[in-house]
Amino acid sequence: MTDMQVNMIDDKTKGGVKQRRTICYIVLGIFSFLCLFWFYVLFINTTRSHSELSTGFTPLPSTHLFDNMHNLFHSTQPVLRGLLNSVTISGLNCLVCVYFSAMTAYAIHAYDFKLKNALFTMILAIMMIPTQVTALGFIQLITKMKLMDNPVPLIVPAIASPIVFFYLKQYMESNLPMELLEAARIDGAGEIRIYNGIVLPLMVPAMAVQAIFSFVGSWNNYFTPALVLSTETKKTLPILIAALRSADFLKFDMGQVYAMITFSIFPVIVVYLFLSKYIVGGMAAGAVKG
């Protein structure tokens, strides 16, 4: 090959890479627009009154944002109390879920014992059982335990999360070498110290990803809290939003509903922004076994 031919091949290769990169940017730009557009629609609708919303969509904001917020916080719904309930339940749910799921994954990954494979298979099989199927038995159980209308049943069951366990187990397969654990044991470290001092720091990216998913899942959960909670001051934001939407004709205010939805997504956005830097690395490492 002559130098001219080599240069032509290099130019074609560079041109092809540039072309593919441009296409990727265009596709990602379109998907980003489609994802963010609905947040824009939500914000626009939050600034409009009930009568304006009934006329259809408009791309320009209105002037009723503070009116809707004022009506929301002066409504019969305990909005701030609902926010506190949602933050408390979702935060504790997230911590319990991630910590104990990582502990279970560590036990399956680091120890050899009888029925280890059977236990792993059983945990994965539980992933196939929908929450709705077990709802009746769950309600009967917490009724016998006198935990109805109590947030505890919304937090403690998060200890057993097969999906989070499976993801963290896959992450450990790629990023937690057994040699490191053996070295720590030779140095005299106990199992609790190894888990809290060595395993958890290595698991931060994966645990941050699952913390986001667990927090958002618990935050948006309507089904279980609606079955368990009955006192107004103990209800979470999804239940209060549903109560606003089901109000009678004379009290129904769509602007107030949109204000409530906007108000309810801010904590989720804060959690996402705080932990989002771990998402790409954590998901990539957890999905590919090294």
Q: Say how far apart CA 212 and CA 271 lie, in whole Å.
A: 7
The reply to whether 89 and 48 lie within a common domain is no
Instruction: Evaluate whether 285 touches 169 at the Cβ level (below 8 Å).
Output: no
The reply to whether 200 and 215 lie within a common domain is yes
The reply to whether 58 and 94 lie within a common domain is no
Where residue 199 sits, what CATH number does that domain have? 1.10.3720.10
3-state secondary structure of 72: helix
Using CA atoms, how far residue 260 sits from 45, 75, 235, 254, in Å, is 11, 11, 14, 10
The reply to whether 111 and 44 lie within a common domain is no
Range of the domain at 104: 69-287
Per residue in 241-288, pLDDT (tens digit) is 888 777 666 667 888 888 888 888 888 888 777 777 766 655 444 444
Average pLDDT over the chain reads 83
Q: At 58, is the pLDDT very low, low, confident or very high (cuts 50, 70, 90)?
A: confident
The reply to whether 165 and 180 lie within a common domain is yes
The reply to whether 61 and 160 lie within a common domain is no
* pLDDT score for 14: 60
pTM of the model: 0.81
Number of domains in the chain: 2
* pLDDT score for 16: 64
The reply to whether 232 and 175 lie within a common domain is yes
The reply to whether 132 and 214 lie within a common domain is yes
Which helix (H) or strand (E) segment holds residue 20: the answer is helix 3-46
What separation, in Å, do the N-terminal and C-terminal C-alpha atoms of the chain show? Answer: 39
Q: Say how far apart CA 72 and CA 70 lie, in whole Å.
A: 5
Statement: residue 5 has pLDDT above 70:
no
The reply to whether 219 and 75 lie within a common domain is yes
The reply to whether 148 and 22 lie within a common domain is no
